[in-house]
Homo-oligomer: A and B are copies of this chain.
Amino acid sequence: MPEQETPEPEPTGDGAVDGAAETEKQIAELEDSWRRTAAELDNVRKRCAKDVIRAREQERAWVAARWLPVLDNLERALEHASSDPDQIVEGVRAVHQQALAVLADLGYPRRDDETGKAFDPAHHEAVSTVTGDDLVPGTVAHVVRPGYGTDGEILRPASVVVATRSA
């Protein structure tokens, strides 16, 4: 809806001359309102394009910054590697858990426990098939590479080996 109310055409008054002047004024006001709304439309379009670019940049920086502590800890684990090689495994395991936590926090948890579930092309990507007496055909026999995301938003489907009926 217009921000300003459209002036209602006033009933033409006393004389024809007054009426004509009134009408001309009304037309001029309408044209002015229209032009201003059109200019605002143009501004909003331009501003929107800038807002979208800025939103992307901000989000990129925000998400990238979440990984810096993971990198810091990875470097710390490597620094201690030469002095105590056994310690690095524990350190890297902790970094791995931290990385999973960052992803989950961004809305993309690791999708575990896919083995045995019915194959679902929305969540799984079949990389090969396998047959076996203890396998239910059409289910995930083995996860080759884990998937990430929620049911509503899959960031990456899990790469899986699918059980099939033996020939």
Contact = CB atoms under 8 A, between A and B. Distances in A.
A145 B72 contact: yes
Majority secondary structure, A binding face: helix
Interface in A46-63: 47-48, 51-52, 55-56, 58-61, 63
A103 B64 contact: yes
Contact of A59 (B31, B59, B81): B59
A108 interface: yes
Given A9-B27, A30-B27, A92 B88 contact: yes
A52 B53 CA distance: 8
Count of chain copies: 2
A60 B56 CA distance: 8
A37 B56 CA distance: 29
A101 to B, nearest CB: 12
Nearest to A8: B31
Contact of A78 (B26, B58, B93): B93
A23 B86 CA distance: 91
22 contacts: A1-B38, A2-B34, A2-B38, A27-B27, A27-B30, A34-B34, A44-B44, A47-B48, A48-B48, A52-B55, A56-B59, A59-B59, A59-B60, A59-B63, A60-B107, A61-B155, A77-B92, A78-B89, A81-B89, A85-B89, A88-B89, A92-B92
